[in-house]
Structure 1
Amino acid sequence: MQPSTNPPNPGSRLTDPVRNPEQAPAPVRTKRAFFLLLLTIFVPGGAQVVAGNRKVGRRALVVTLACWALLIVAAAVFVLNRAILISVLARPGIQLTLAIVLLLLAVGWLLLFVNTLAIIRPTLLAPGARAVLVGTTVLALVCTAGALGYSSFVLNTGRDTIQNVFASGPDMEPVDGRYNIMVMGGDAGENRTGLRPDTMMLFSVDAETGKTAVISFPRNFQNAPFPDDSPLKDVYPTGYDCGDECILNALYPTVQQNHADLYPEGANAGAEAMMDAAEGITGVAVQGYVLVDMAGFEQFIDAMGGVTVQSGGWVPFRGPPRDDMVVRTRWFEPGELNLDGAEALWFARSRYFTTDYHRIRRQQCLQQAMIKQFNPQTVLTRFGDIMSAGEQLVETNIPQDQLGSFLNLADKARDTPFERLTLGAPDFGTSADRFSTYPDFDQITARVDELLLTASGDAEEPAPEEQPEPDDDGAAEEDSAAPAEDSGSGETADGGTDGGGSPEDSSGADASKESEAIESWAAEAPTTQPDGSPLTEEYLIYLEQTGQTGLLELIASNNSECTT
């Protein structure tokens, strides 16, 4: 067979519609346009390789593949050992690097979209298809390059917050395998001279497992001693023992105003003094402090998306005034509560019709709930809001470079209940015993040692209780000693109750106002109205309006019961 002598027909060679769409029909041009746009969205650089500058496209593909590889590695590390990932990402230097990289990627992706539009040549499309293409491109830009740019901004915000809140310096070393951090919460209200921390707790965290013990100090705790190496030892050689003026939460403003020069190296003399007092009281070496501003606390809870607790009783709080009633008290009912920032603040601080010890228990519960719900998913989805709130929330001397390790410990502690001890009622008798006013420090150190052993899992199993010998009639011999001690669920604090008044206006001098009536009631807190119907907020408001505060104190007496 003779080979054909006819020259190739140029018209028989179809023009490639991807690279040369001019001769393609309108439907093909439309499909080509959206195909190239999808490539730029899901495989940045793909549109350039297929229909544009192949050199630019190949470089963009290398960057794309590298990013996917890094994301896969990060996901694997998160699954296998997320502690490493958290520690790395919590470092300001790493955050700055990531912020810069994300910003460069956002700019690069934006340029690829612009180049893809030039390759598509929207003028070749029908007007309707052109409008859809432009709208889709804008949406894609927002979801891709825009998201990367925003992530860069958020990371840089987080870096600034960490640098502004956390101290620079060497890492803290655990003592006997534990980190001991003094946590204080308070505010400088208009009726106060300086800041008074109404919430004072020592968190002792196992450096390996994250198991946590919480020691709560009543704000009216008196006679706090100081360690021998504390500069306050010379000022108060027998302890902070000047009577009702020397309750524990007054130490912070006193040192800030009168003895700040004793702590020249400390950024916060009041906080350093509180650390010394906590160490003197418990015998536990305290390495750091966290000072929580209550206004910032509200913003932080909102940034987390709220917090959920299970309340065991009715908790009163101060509500907005209403024309149809004289009192302003409102009530959180028992059961599951989904609290926003303002509500969580009231839940933590209220002691209307109850005591300091009730709110201490609720604060412990709320802290457990916050840690339990402060999970990686919350951090990732609300990182920007949390970081913005954090700078208003916290002052601390925890080193920046150690933030990652503490976040890891908090993550480990999320599902482990705290071991708790309150240095007063109900853990040390009832409020009538006034343990906070006249503390026995040997008892305290013994209980603290026991608490830390339990939190570390080293406590011995309690021996089974011996049963009393039966008498001749087979009945157990009754102990004729003193009657069982009240748990203190309904007592007033050493600082007294303040009914519907301000939570800030009482001190240790109010101990004389204790309500003996509540402690004399043997009945449990009532759960129904006289007619048998369930308690309601309207009924409780009616009781206050008619002056039946004693009954309200009984109803609120179990509001320290709370779980997460």
Structure 2
Amino acid sequence: GVALLPVARPVSARQDEGALTVVVGGLDTRTPDQPENTDVLMVARVDFDAPSVRAMSIPRDLLVDIPGFGTDKVNRAYDHGSKAADGDWEAGAALTVETVAANFELDIDGIALTNFEGFADVIDAFGGVDVDNPYEVYDAEYPTEDFGYREIYFPAGEIHLDGEDALAFARTRHQDGDDGRVMRQQLVLLALLAKAQDPAILPDLPEIVREGREAVRTDFDREMQARLIELASTLSAEDIVFGTMTEYLWGDTTESGMWVYQGDWSTLPGIVQGFLAG
């Protein structure tokens, strides 16, 4: 089921009754002793009144300050928090929220996290998704769960993806880097939204909701979850705006030899705030 987290502020403390600022993350979780990194991370503004969603992707390699742990890649926040609390996901989620809030100077209302297996299960519950792939994608060394590699290929044009394929499509970045991967994540999310609004899936909705509740962990209560599901049924692709920040970042190598993205923190928070505000 869906666990509740202590990180969300009560509704009365929120900035705006008609909107939420949400962190959304996808965890690369293999085994408990391995690092659990949020290799997909976004911060989104959900406006119930408009209705609209504006989502800014945060590159996993962005160097940030993780409160209590010092400087590290943003995708490490969850693992630092979780491991410090004996593998507790609530602590990992709370530190992820705190990290995004502190670095981008945002008030965060809540978080939703899934792992990659859960993401694939949700896609499969919908019967897969259809995307219009803008160009062919090939990766000779796509990582597998057993720490090996496999070859993947997606032709250009209309393609149907099951859960495993959608995950690979959304994760691969060897051919075209972070921007290509973020673009494919957005294509999959929009395709999932379109599928969710297809009347043909109505008979499957109970199973889909059950699968979603198992796959996604969030600190939003059932009432807010219901509001968000209802909102999803009314949104069109035009109501959703995705943003990336890589044009404001540059590559760098830390003293330890780790490749990272760096940003100008005197301007980056304002850029993100401005995007979310529309």
Look up the match of 1:165.
2
Quickly say closer, same or farther: Cα 1:288–1:218, change in 2 above 3 A. same
Quickly say closer, same or farther: Cα 1:343–1:267, change in 2 above 3 A. closer
Look up the match of 1:199.
40
Once the two structures are superposed, the pairs formed by residues 107-186 of structure 1 within 5 Å of their partners are 164-165=1-2, 167=4, 172=11, 174-176=14-16, 177-186=18-27
Instruction: Deviation per CA, 1:253-279: give whole Å up to 9, x if none.
Output: 112122x39xxxx96011111111111
Letter matched to residue 411 of structure 1: S
- The CA distance in 2 between the partners of 1:303 and 1:208, in whole Å, is 29
Look up the match of 1:446.
270
Residues 249, 264 of structure 2: 8 Å contact kept: no
Look up the match of 2:138.
316
Residues 250, 261 of structure 2: 8 Å contact kept: no
Look up the match of 1:323.
none
Q: How far 1:379 moved relative to its partner?
A: 5.0
Q: 1:401 aligns with which of 223, 227, 238?
A: 223
Number of residue pairs the alignment of both structures matches? 263
Look up the match of 1:410.
232
Instruction: Deviation per CA, 1:17-45: give whole Å up to 9, x if none.
Output: xxxxxxxxxxxxxxxxxxxxxxxxxxxxx
Residues 36, 79 of structure 2: 8 Å contact kept: yes
Residues 187, 294 of structure 1: 8 Å contact kept: yes
- The CA distance in 2 between the partners of 1:187 and 1:167, in whole Å, is 21
Letter matched to residue 28 of structure 2: D
Residues 243, 275 of structure 2: 8 Å contact kept: yes
Find the residue that maps to 1:365 and give its secondary structure. Answer: helix
Find the residue that maps to 1:363 and give its secondary structure. Answer: helix
State whether structure 2 residue 157 is matched by structure 1 residue 331.
no
Letter matched to residue 204 of structure 1: R
Greater Rg by CA = 1
Q: How far 1:415 moved relative to its partner?
A: 3.5
- The CA distance in 2 between the partners of 1:257 and 1:410, in whole Å, is 34
Look up the match of 1:546.
none
- The CA distance in 2 between the partners of 1:208 and 1:311, in whole Å, is 32
- The CA distance in 2 between the partners of 1:380 and 1:318, in whole Å, is 38
Letter matched to residue 82 of structure 2: Q
Q: How far 1:192 moved relative to its partner?
A: 6.2
Look up the match of 1:250.
76
Find the residue that maps to 1:183 and give its secondary structure. Answer: strand
Residues 294, 393 of structure 1: 8 Å contact kept: no
Look up the match of 1:223.
64
Quickly say closer, same or farther: Cα 1:315–1:277, change in 2 above 3 A. same
Q: Structure 1: which 5+ runs fail to align? A: 1-163, 226-231, 321-326, 455-564
State whether structure 2 residue 268 is matched by structure 1 residue 428.
no
Letter matched to residue 249 of structure 1: N
Quickly say closer, same or farther: Cα 1:410–1:329, change in 2 above 3 A. same
Quickly say closer, same or farther: Cα 1:374–1:335, change in 2 above 3 A. same
Using the size of structure 1 for normalisation, the TM-score is 0.42
Look up the match of 2:146.
none
Instruction: Deviation per CA, 1:143-198: give whole Å up to 9, x if none.
Output: xxxxxxxxxxxxxxxxxxxxx21539996455244201111112322596242111
Letter matched to residue 215 of structure 1: M
Look up the match of 2:145.
none
Using the size of structure 2 for normalisation, the TM-score is 0.82
- The CA distance in 1 between the partners of 2:222 and 2:231, in whole Å, is 15
Residues 249, 263 of structure 2: 8 Å contact kept: no
- The CA distance in 2 between the partners of 1:300 and 1:451, in whole Å, is 29
Look up the match of 1:289.
111
Instruction: Deviation per CA, 1:324-375: give whole Å up to 9, x if none.
Output: xxx9523111111111111111111111233233212211222122123211
Instruction: Deviation per CA, 1:440-493: give whole Å up to 9, x if none.
Output: 123222222331332xxxxxxxxxxxxxxxxxxxxxxxxxxxxxxxxxxxxxxx
Quickly say closer, same or farther: Cα 1:255–1:330, change in 2 above 3 A. closer
Q: How far 1:418 moved relative to its partner?
A: 2.5
- The CA distance in 2 between the partners of 1:319 and 1:256, in whole Å, is 29
Amino-acid identity (%)? 24
Look up the match of 2:171.
349
- The CA distance in 2 between the partners of 1:433 and 1:207, in whole Å, is 41
Quickly say closer, same or farther: Cα 1:336–1:192, change in 2 above 3 A. farther
Quickly say closer, same or farther: Cα 1:388–1:412, change in 2 above 3 A. closer
Q: Which has the higher contact order (CA 8 A, sep 6+)?
A: 2
Quickly say closer, same or farther: Cα 1:446–1:330, change in 2 above 3 A. same
- The CA distance in 2 between the partners of 1:329 and 1:255, in whole Å, is 34
- The CA distance in 2 between the partners of 1:353 and 1:336, in whole Å, is 19
RMSD: 3.1
Look up the match of 2:50.
209
Q: How far 1:308 moved relative to its partner?
A: 1.4
Q: Structure 2: which 5+ runs fail to align? A: 143-148
Look up the match of 2:123.
301
Quickly say closer, same or farther: Cα 1:220–1:410, change in 2 above 3 A. same
Q: 1:392 aligns with which of 187, 198, 214?
A: 214
Letter matched to residue 4 of structure 2: A
